[in-house]
Structures are given as C-alpha cells and as structure tokens.
Structure 1
C-alpha cells in the first residue's frame, strides 16, 4: 500500500477527467462553444450528486455513530468559522468593503462538489480508502458559511436587507427583527438548497438499500462514473476558462487570495483531521473541502440576500482562479501533505 500512496501531479494531470477539463479550457480559449445541449451540465451534476450520495450512504450504513458525529460536527464548525478568517484577509489584505468581503468569504467557507469528486477520483486511482461519512461532511459544509457571511455583512446582528437606499447608493441596514428575518430566510434557503437536498436524500437512500441495492443500480450509477465525470469536467473546464478572462480583471491582491486561501484552508483541514485522528483518505478529503470554494449553492443564496455584492468579483475568483488551481495543482498537493500529517 505504501507504494500507492504518493499522488503525483503528473498522475492527476494525465487522468481522463482532468484531460477533458483541459479540453474544455482549450475550446473556450479558441472562442468556440461545446456542442452539447443547454442544461446538459446540470443533468450531469444531478447524476454525480445522486451517484456519490448513494455510494456514500452505503459506506455510511455500517459506520459507528461515535466515529461519524465528531467528523460531522467538526465539518459544520469549519464551515461556520472559516468565513471569518477569509473575511479578515479580504478586508485587511485586499481592501474590500464589508459586503463584498463577506460575500466572497461565504463562498470560501462553503465547498465545491466537483473539487471533492476530483479528490475522491484521485484517491480511488491510488488505491487509498476513505469513509462514506465524508460525503455527509460535504453536505453539512454547504450551508453554514452562508449564515456566517450574512452576519459578517451586517454589523453586530444586523443583516443587509434586499433593498437599496432611496438614492440607490448603498445597502439598507436593518437592525433587530428585519435583519434576523433575512438571516432566517438565508438559513432556510441553505437548508432547502436543491443540491443539498438531492445529495442528502441520495445519502439516506444509500443507507437504506445497502450494498445489495447499490449492486442492482451499478449499471447506471457505478459503471458510467468515470465517463460522466469526464463529460462534466469538460463543461467545467469551458466555464472556468470563460471566467478566467473575467478573473484577469481582478486586482492582484484578490487573485493572490484566490490561491492563498485554499492553501490556508488545507492547513486548517489537515490540523482538524489530525486532531480527529483521521486516516489518509479522510484527511485528504477534509483538507480538500476546506480548500475549495462554492460557485453553485452560495452564489444563488448570496444573490438574493446581498444584492449589492458584486458577483463580478466572487464568481470569477472562485471559478476562474481557485477551482482550476485546486483541480490542477491543489488536490495532489493536499494528498501529499495529508500523507505527511496522517503518517
């Protein structure tokens, strides 16, 4: 097993899903479009959510509660607190205003499904096992960062309302009940996010049907996994390259943050994994989750709760800088660091 543990960047770069990601980048940079139907990528994303949820549920079914709960509680705590660190970095180093710093911090406190899936693919290719409850940790970490981001956006318990001032110059600050109403709506939206519900539902189904049930579905949800992931990353490469053009217009300090924050998140994830006594596979996945940034669930929630936040900053940063960095460089690096930490 020891000979299988080192995960080289070359192994990752030459894997089919990453090669298809690179093809999507090339197509976008060539100025043409991928000839696939509109909405095809959303269907592939739904498939991946169900497939990984089913497999995670089957693996989770036999896991003792005492082993699972500390990981899930730690995951929720990380998602709640990491935006505070990101917010401080954005305010101090990048000089952003409170609302935009809070919005971006929420993105970086949440997680990326595709980055997580790419990490699981790397672990599978290296023969490194990981626990099914890491899929549950992924689901748990989607929403709490949104709540923290909204609290950071509004001073001392007041959250920005969805309206503008009469002059249209800024965000209305609403203390007390109105602010808490917005916060409650954000919590509800985060909990009822379609991606989170689909993943959590598939996780529960996997726990219910167990391995015999999954074996009957293997022709749809197991065998085609690599092919579907490759097609999905083809489109993600295309989208990332499109956002990369926008990202080049960001300040140098923001671009640096887009690379530095994943490395900081990796360090926090590995420290937490060591404290929990996680094995190599689980440590790699927790580090990857902490290093990733949401570009699906959080943007939708933030767009409604903080309408004055500039999506021209957050989306290009997450999808054009952090996501490609994690896919091409970060994941094999996190695996190597996890090996050093997990022993």
Structure 2
C-alpha cells in the first residue's frame, strides 16, 4: 500500500465516499486512457521486435485456451450458485473472461518497483485476451437465441478503442524497435507511472459510486467478486508454468486472468445482451475485483508465483 499509484486510488475512493466535489474532467480522463493504452501497446511491440513472432504462436494458443476457462467457470458459479438468469450470468462471464488494461498497468508498475523483470511480450497476451472471453460470455448468454448478429458483435469488439490503441501501439513499437521508439519514450514510458496515478484517482472516484450497487445485489456478488480473481489467478500461474514464464511474467499473467473488464465488456454486453442487468457485472468487476486486485491481489499473485516458480529459476 506504500506505492503512490495505489494511494492515488485510495485518495479517489475516499473522496468519493466522502461525497467530495473532486472530479477529473472527462477530456482529461479520455486523454489519459489513450496515452496509457498506447504506452502499453508500444512497450509490447518493442519487446516483440526482439523475438521471432513464430516462437510465440504456441504460448499464445495455450494462454488463449486456458483463459477461456475463466468465463465458463464464472458462468457456472453465477448460474448454479447465484441462481442468476442466463443473460446476467453470461454478462458476468464476459466481464471476467475479458481483461483490465489498468489492472495490468498497475501490475507492471508493481514489478518495476520490486525490480522484478518480466517478459515484454506479455503485452501481446493483454491484447489477445480482450476478445475470447467476451465472445464466450456472450455465447453462453445467447446460447438459445438466434437473433444475435455475431458479425456486428465481433466487429464492434475488434474496432473498439482499447483494441485499436493496443494493437496500433504494438505494431508501431514492433516496426520502430527500441531505437526508433526512443524519441517518444519520455512521454509514453517516462511519464507512464505519473499518468497512471492520475487515472487511478479517477478510478477511485468511479469505484466509490459503484459501491451502492453492491448493497442492492446482496452478499453473493461480493463473494463472487473475491472468488473469481483468485480462481483466475491460479489458472494464470499454472498456465505460466506450462509455457515457462519467469516469476514476473507469471505474476502478470495471473493478474490478467484475475482481472475483469469494465471498459470493453460493458459496451459489448450492452449491444449483444441488452436484457442483462449492468449493475451486477459492473458492480462486481469495478466495485470488488478491481480494488481487490490492485491492493492485495497483485502482491499475493507475486508471492504465489515466487513460491511455485522461484525454486526453478
């Protein structure tokens, strides 16, 4: 909790709960999100330029298949234990099957602070894992439906802001390489942590506004929001062992598997499953899972990764 990035989130959360008039201008929030997404994509692209992309095909396939277990587990828990209707269970599955870019950024910042190295190509997994979880969640929600326009849905997901900026930044970083990206490094790399801190200040304010929704949903959603990241992180670390990632890489992969989307997923669900109650999925992902991950989750995943992988490295 001594990390200033996390303390900025706590400041925003406290201000929101105290009903302060503190607000981050919408234009600044959008600008920060664009810079952060591009920065993560650029870092991944620069790291990818140092590897043969063909060598990553098998790890990407394994990670993608493993990640598809997360929305299936989430749907099963929400349906059979939470007794949610198919649409709401599918929406929860989509949110938890997709990933949070901001949580990934906090995880990267945490590892840098710990002087723990990690594979730069992990950003490639971030880009790829935005999509399959959403599609699996929607498929589970619309299993018996015939009117779902899958072509429109896939187009909406692929052309969404997050994917375009992450993929675009990665392509630019790949073709420019480390030397080519040096001229823009002061903005995208040097200021990254400061920009992330301001972004998390806003996320704290937003999270405070979502806590009221959890009171209406009952204890199950809180338990779900705690249990799913732990299950996801476990799958992520086991997958990291299969593809021989470092401790840092395993921590970030666990963080991705443990995270829940609150940007791309709500837009996709609103289009594909309009009958789902958005307060359930957003309340759990942003009100419980996000603060859990960035406060105690990431350090926990790091410790677990050290325990399982540290002896072998």
TM-score bracket relative to the smaller structure: over 0.9
The answer as to 2:106 corresponding to 1:128 is no
2:119, 2:246 within 8 Å by CA — same for their partners in 1? Answer: no
Shift of 1:222: 1.8
The answer as to 2:225 corresponding to 1:237 is no
The answer as to 2:282 corresponding to 1:294 is no
1:34, 1:235 within 8 Å by CA — same for their partners in 2? Answer: no
Correspondent of 2:81 among 74, 88, 93: 93
Deviations 1:49-83 (A, max 9, x none): 11111111111111233542222222322343321
Deviations 1:215-238 (A, max 9, x none): 111221122112111101110111
Match in the other structure for 1:315: 282
- How far apart are the structure 2 equivalents of 1:18 and 1:254? 24
- How far apart are the structure 1 equivalents of 2:192 and 2:25? 20
Match in the other structure for 1:168: none
- How far apart are the structure 1 equivalents of 2:222 and 2:158? 30
- How far apart are the structure 2 equivalents of 1:332 and 1:51? 23
Structure 2: give runs of 5+ residues left out of the alignment.
none
Q: Greater CA radius of gyration, 1 or 2?
A: 1
Q: Secondary structure at the match of 2:202?
A: helix
The answer as to 2:25 corresponding to 1:31 is no
- How far apart are the structure 1 equivalents of 2:87 and 2:23? 38
Q: Secondary structure at the match of 1:249?
A: helix
- How far apart are the structure 1 equivalents of 2:67 and 2:151? 17
Deviations 1:160-210 (A, max 9, x none): xxxxxxxxxxxxxx3xxx44xx22222222222121111001001001111
2:5, 2:200 within 8 Å by CA — same for their partners in 1? Answer: yes
The answer as to 2:172 corresponding to 1:205 is yes
Correspondent of 2:51 among 63, 79, 84: 63
- How far apart are the structure 2 equivalents of 1:45 and 1:89? 32
Match in the other structure for 2:188: 221
The number of aligned residues is 310
Correspondent of 2:65 among 77, 91, 101: 77
- How far apart are the structure 2 equivalents of 1:332 and 1:59? 24
Relative to total residues, which structure has the larger helix share, 1 or 2? 2
- How far apart are the structure 2 equivalents of 1:242 and 1:302? 21
Shift of 1:309: 0.2
Match in the other structure for 1:114: 102
The answer as to 2:16 corresponding to 1:20 is no
1:129, 1:281 within 8 Å by CA — same for their partners in 2? Answer: yes
TM-score of the two chains, using structure 1 as the length reference: 0.87
Q: Secondary structure at the match of 1:106?
A: helix
The answer as to 2:250 corresponding to 1:283 is yes
The answer as to 2:13 corresponding to 1:46 is no
1:268, 1:290 within 8 Å by CA — same for their partners in 2? Answer: yes
1:258, 1:318 within 8 Å by CA — same for their partners in 2? Answer: yes
2:36, 2:196 within 8 Å by CA — same for their partners in 1? Answer: yes
1:288, 1:331 within 8 Å by CA — same for their partners in 2? Answer: yes
When the two chains are superposed, the root-mean-square deviation of aligned CA atoms in Å is 1.3
After TM superposition, the structure 1 = structure 2 runs for residues 133-212 of structure 1, keeping only pairs within 5 Å, are 133-155=121-143, 158-159=144-145, 174=146, 178-179=147-148, 182-212=149-179
Correspondent of 2:92 among 92, 104, 109: 104
- How far apart are the structure 2 equivalents of 1:29 and 1:113? 25
Correspondent of 1:262 among 193, 213, 229: 229
Match in the other structure for 1:326: 293
TM-score of the two chains, using structure 2 as the length reference: 0.95
Deviations 1:284-306 (A, max 9, x none): 11111000000000100100111
